[in-house]
Amino acid sequence: MGPTHVHRLVPLALAAAGLLVSGCGTERPEAATAADASLSPAPTRTTSTPSPEATGALEGFPLDVGYDEENGDDHSPVRVTGRPATTAFDLCRLPTWDPQAGTTDVLGVEWRGEAEWSRGRTLVLYPSAHEAAAAVTAANDALAGCSDESGEPGYGTAHTVLHQALGEQSVAWTDTYWFESDGDRLFDTGLTVYHLVRVGRAVLLAYEYGEGNGSEESRANSIARATELEHPVVSRMDLVG
């Protein structure tokens, strides 16, 4: 999974074994495929097919609600698994997200489109709401000190915090991708929208990558769409123990 761009953002976990290594904040999501914000996916599901890998308190959780039943690129089925859709990554060398650190249960799901369009969700449980809150706070603190991050020479990522309230605690942000040309910094159309949301001891990290950075309007539409897509998941998170 993942775009072919050299200046990617965060490695995700279902590409080549799934968002494999921890990211440095200058790579795009692996398997990131996302279309223009004006396009719509095929009809989406309202129920989930439980993964045989899902156990514990998250067993049967409909993490794929709102996703298509098939991937758009190869028509393979979209499945909820016991693997995270986004693995550990840092922003500006500060630990930001690690679905395996201190958690008791993990679920993941990803959807790939035909062009530049992809989505993914990782849902984890911590032993307590206090530990879950600390994880979200750590991510918020990392973002607060990392508005811009250089990658390989001439390329980088801008991290922009959004004012989006979901669940009991949340932080949302966008990543946009710049390159230098004749001394100027230019942005391409790539846009990733992230939501990190806590309800009780459950924490969700969702992303949507697409080509929504073409204009202020397309960017706003992409953010609104990605936010709306997560409401059904967040509303069910208080049901897990």
Q: Is 134 helix (H, G, I), strand (E, B) or coil?
A: helix
Q: Does domain 56-239 have CATH number 3.40.1000?
A: yes
Distance CA 185, CA 84 (A): 34
Q: Is 229 helix (H, G, I), strand (E, B) or coil?
A: helix
Cα 174 to chain centroid distance, Å, stands at 10
Distance CA 80, CA 36 (A): 25
CA distances from 135 to 16, 86, 114, 142, 190 (A): 26, 15, 34, 11, 27
pLDDT tens across the length of the chain (241 residues) = 333 232 333 333 333 233 322 334 445 554 333 333 333 344 354 444 555 455 678 988 999 999 999 999 999 999 999 999 999 999 999 999 999 999 999 999 999 997 789 999 999 999 999 999 999 999 999 999 999 999 889 999 999 999 889 999 999 999 999 999 998 999 999 999 999 999 999 999 999 999 999 999 999 999 999 999 999 999 999 998 6
Domain positions in the chain are 56-239
Distance CA 119, CA 91 (A): 20
236 beta partners: none
Q: Is 107 helix (H, G, I), strand (E, B) or coil?
A: strand
Distance CA 29, CA 11 (A): 5
E strand segments, the chain: 89-91, 94-97, 105-112, 118-125, 148-150, 155-162, 169-181, 184-199, 202-210
202 beta partners: 125, 199
Q: Is 122 helix (H, G, I), strand (E, B) or coil?
A: strand
Q: Is the dihedral of CA 11, 12, 16, 21 positive or negative?
A: positive
> What does pTM read for this prediction?
0.81
